[in-house]
Structure 1
Amino acid sequence: MSTATVAITGGTRGIGFGMAQALLARGHRVAVCGTDPERTDRVRAELPDSALVHAADVTDRDQVQGFWNAAVERFGGVDIWINNAGISHTRTPLWELAADDARKVVNTNLLGVLNGCAVAVPAMAAHGRGHIWNMEGLGSDGRSVPGLGVYGASKRAVTYLTEALAKETPDQVTVGLLSPGMVVTDLLIGGYSDPAELAKARRIFNILADRVETVTPWLAERAVTRTRNGAHVRWLTTGKVLRRFAAAPFRTRDLFAD
């Protein structure tokens, strides 16, 4: 695909914002949405005028539809839709997690993806083509981490949903998974209440994680070139994990120096 129109939910921060910047640098048309009005205004000022920055809450399907409509009005259509919006929660056992916090995570991470797909699939089918990417996260591969049960369950569900959608979408619409691995964002390092646990986690992050500006150009390039049905794009492969652990005793990395 030479020049694409890409819409990214949760595109005003973290991985979504990094991908938006990388796509714009490659000449693509980009629309992003976010829920924080102050951040949305700031991103609108940071991105070029060619980008569309829209306020939308992915847990509300009408607002997701409004984001789609705004992108179509600006660009004439959407070629690639990326369900990137996601949040985590305090690392704590399920029974200690406030019901509202659990609900927000599930509503954003799972219902938000459901809403995005429900809006994008029929519109893309009517247009005759389109690709949807859903963003994986911790838990997508079935690995469990104590204290992150709700977040992991929501991401596991997204993976199942995507695999099911790949079997039921119309022929004109394709669906796939983007797996960014460990990326240093608020989502990765937030939620620690114990400083000792955070220090321990940072040691692992310094081996396996990467900064946003390292991962997102790679993801952006593949988001517009690997648009086959059932595609699964992974940054942090098993081979890369093994090589990084093997090199760790001889390699010094500090992703948190700043």
Structure 2
Amino acid sequence: MDSVSTSTSVVISGVSRGLGAALARRFAALGHPVAGCARDREALDRLRADLGEGHLITVTDVTDADAVERWAGETVRRLGAPALVVANAGYISPQAPVWETSPADFRTTVDVNVVGVYTLARAFLPRMATGGTFVAVSSGWGRNPRGRLAAYTASKFAVEGFTRAIAQEAEELLPGVTAVAVDPGGGVDTAMLATCLPDEHTEYPGPEAWAQVAADYLLHQVPKEPNGASLTVPGP
């Protein structure tokens, strides 16, 4: 499969802001039905109004496996089997040495960034269209560690390993379905980046400019890459 047909649905977690919201708007503009989730009801209401009819934007917590399972079932019933699933929901805390990182912050980072990828993989991989691609959003800090961001680094290293493992499982048990980890590439000026790089985040392109390139890359280039690959979105 060289690309995703404009009639097929795209699933994205974490669509209330940042990369997820920008991707949802871009995929919808390209004619794809979008199934998106997040926890911020007001932000989702705004996104739903922007996208219009034909999409499924729901309040779902990616750390709740049962809720994600229900969302996946509803997605397939209403929009059909997705050809692209983007596990994008993420969390990062301000820079601090690990001994100043609270247990609550560490656990939230792991729950959202790792458990959130697991719940989407568990719910959507067996429901994906043949030729579909599961994308786990990773980070350059999931390949090269970053001091003072140990929790985030640990979570993204876990995402990389988890994705390679589920790629092997998909290759054996779900022929035609692939899983890859994708680093957004070079930094994007989002609220998350502002949290960890408060003095630098404005130096990077915004989510909308990034999504213009990223959507095309995810639709047309990623399906050609090897199963289990660690990839990077080209810069805008």
Q: TM-score normalised by the shorter chain: which range applies?
A: 0.7 to 0.9
> How many residue pairs align between the two structures?
225
Pair member with larger Rg = 1
Query: 2:108 is aligned with what amino acid?
Result: K
Report the counterpart of residue 20 of structure 1 in structure 2. 24
1:230 aligns with 2:228: yes
CA RMSD of aligned residues (A): 2.0
Report the counterpart of residue 194 of structure 2 in structure 1. 189
Aligned with residue 5 of structure 2, among 2, 5, 26: 2
Q: Given the two structures, how large is their TM-score scaled by the length of structure 1?
A: 0.81
- 1:62-77 to 2 correspondences below 5 Å: 62-77=66-81
Task: Please report how far the alpha carbon of residue 44 of structure 1 lies from its aligned counterpart in structure 2 after TM superposition.
Answer: 1.7
1:101 aligns with 2:109: no
Report the counterpart of residue 50 of structure 1 in structure 2. 54
Contact 2:214 2:234 in 1 (8 A): no
Q: Given the two structures, how large is their TM-score scaled by the length of structure 2?
A: 0.88
SS at 1:158 equivalent = helix
Query: 2:223 is aligned with what amino acid?
Result: T
Measured in 2, the distance between the counterparts of 1:219 and 1:232 equals 15
Contact 1:52 1:71 in 2 (8 A): yes
1:104-130 per-residue CA deviation (whole Å, 9 max, x = no partner) reads: 110000011011111112223xx5442
Report the counterpart of residue 243 of structure 1 in structure 2. none
Measured in 2, the distance between the counterparts of 1:101 and 1:230 equals 29
Instruction: Identify unmatched segments of 5+ residues in structure 2.
Output: none
Question: Which consecutive aligned stretches of 4+ in structure 1 deviate over 2 angstroms post-superposition?
Answer: 127-130, 228-233
Identity of aligned residues (%): 31
Larger RCO (CA under 8 A, 6+ residues apart):
2
Instruction: Identify unmatched segments of 5+ residues in structure 1.
Output: 193-197, 241-258
Task: Please report how far the alpha carbon of residue 11 of structure 1 lies from its aligned counterpart in structure 2 after TM superposition.
Answer: 1.6
